[in-house]
Structure 1
Amino acid sequence: MKKILKLSLVCAVLFATSNAFAIDGNDNLNVHVLKGNGKVITFALNQVKKANVAIYDKNGELIYSESASGKEGILRTFSLEQFPEGKYYLEVEDSTKKVKHEIIVTDETSVLSSKAVSTIYKAGSAKNTSVAVR
């Protein structure tokens, strides 16, 4: 039974990995939320080679951080089994912007919002913009 469960999990991860990079995303740092499974969340960053990924609690305390990289994008899966119920935030930052997504953890599931709660562009990263100063 354990072998079947492990094999199923490996197949699910391989399937998610193969589909993650098929999502069209020309804009930098689009967080594509893939289906969650219980208290496991998965997301992909297409065409992003380096990014900082962090998880914060509702009070802004850092719980987890890493510097992620990939050749054609980044795929990450997190198990939130040990997280108590509540609201958390996934923050992803690359060289041009920082986006924050909400994570809701309940007894049974964890849900990562597909829309960003906030987006902060870094200086000099805006495309085709003009600012007039008087």
Structure 2
Amino acid sequence: MKKIVKLSLVCAILLSGISTYAIDGNGNGNDDFNLHVLKANGKIITFALNQVQKASLSIYDKNGSLIYSENASGKEGILRTFSLEEFPAGIYFLEVEDSVKKVRHEITITDDASVLSTKAVSSSYKADTTAKNASVAVR
């Protein structure tokens, strides 16, 4: 009887750990771009996008005006360093877009430093173009 109770407790702890990991969304990289800020030195930021081979990187100001754009690629991920020294203090957004998803991260620039948020402020999946003639029933 004690073995069954111990085994049940171990299973419950294991399953709760798995579900917590799944909610985080960082398990296999398919749910979100795994953006990691590697280094921030003053107004120079270095970040990596793991498990992303091709993406469009864009920087927008708080009014939505495009400031910078590039198409980036890498075999096992993308590594970029941006010098934001010429940017005035304020809020900007880094937008990362691949063939499936578009994610925005906030960049906060002060007079002497810049901070790139690792958590996305917004994300959206692109619509599947193969289903353009499909019908949807509403009840």
TM-score w.r.t. the length of structure 2 is 0.70
Structure 2 residue 119 is the aligned partner of structure 1 residue 122: no
Deviating 4+ runs (over 6 angstroms) = none
> Is contact 1:25–1:46 with CA below 8 Å preserved after alignment?
no
Paired residue type of 2:71: S
> Is contact 2:34–2:51 with CA below 8 Å preserved after alignment?
no
Match in the other structure for 2:22: none
TM-score w.r.t. the length of structure 1 is 0.73
Residue among 41, 53, 56 paired with 2:57: 53
More deviation, 43-52/29-38: 29-38
Bigger fraction of residues in helix: 2
Paired residue type of 2:126: K
How far is the alpha carbon of 1:35 from its aligned partner?
A: 2.6
How far is the alpha carbon of 1:33 from its aligned partner?
A: 1.9
**Superposition CA RMSD, Å:** 1.9
Match of 2:94, SS?
strand
Give the paired residue count: 106
Residue among 81, 100, 103 paired with 1:77: 81
Structure 2 residue 34 is the aligned partner of structure 1 residue 27: no
Stretches of structure 1 lacking an aligned partner (at least 5 in a row): 1-23, 125-130
Q: 1:75 to 1:117 in 2, by over 3 A?
A: same
Q: Which has the larger radius of gyration?
A: 2
- Percent identity between matched residues is 75
What do the CA deviations read for 1:49-70 (whole angstroms, capped 9, x no partner)? 1000000001000000000000
Q: Which has the higher contact order (CA 8 A, sep 6+)?
A: 1
Match in the other structure for 2:72: 68
Stretches of structure 2 lacking an aligned partner (at least 5 in a row): 1-25, 129-135
Distance in 2 between residues matched to 1:103 and 1:45, nearest whole Å: 16
